[in-house]
Amino acid sequence: MAAKEFASAARVYELLLAEFPRDARAREALDRARRLERSCAAIVGQWKVRPNRRTWTVHEDGTVYGTWLIFNSTGVWECVDPQSREFVVRWPRCVVCGTEYFVLSDDHDTLQSTSTKGGSTATRVADTDDTTERETRPAGDR
């Protein structure tokens, strides 16, 4: 389930609670939906990915923009399992990039590959005020 689906579920539970404010199960379900929605959204931001000195900018809309040493590409990400914070990143326009599976750390600052062949590790880049729109969301792939 994607973050937007948890947001939709939360809205439904809010409507139920408006009609039945003492419904404990609806309150628990609302809390769970909100918690899982936040878990999926935790990947949004800028990441430094090793190896190969890559940089990714992950957007709320499910897109990701990656820069490698000599090229850029746009991909998509999905929250596969919000409880265990598992994500998949796909690069459909990049022949050499493929699909990567990650688990987000408890502190939300590290993405660790779940590949049995080593894979990548990403660390969150601290927010800065000097990030330009060109750097984070280009007009197109290069």
Per-domain residue ranges for the chain? 3-41, 45-135
More confident residue, 137 or 56: 56
Task: Enumerate residues 6+ apart whose C-beta is below 8 A from 8.
Answer: none
Domain 45-135 has CATH 1.10.3470: no
pLDDT of residue 139: 43
65 alpha carbon, distance to own chain's centre = 12
Token readout for 32 is 């769970």
pTM: 0.68
Q: CA angle at residue 90 from 41 to 47, to 5 degrees? A: 50
pLDDT per residue as tens digits for the range 38-83: 778 889 999 999 877 889 999 989 999 999 878 889 999 998 888 8
pLDDT of residue 77: 93
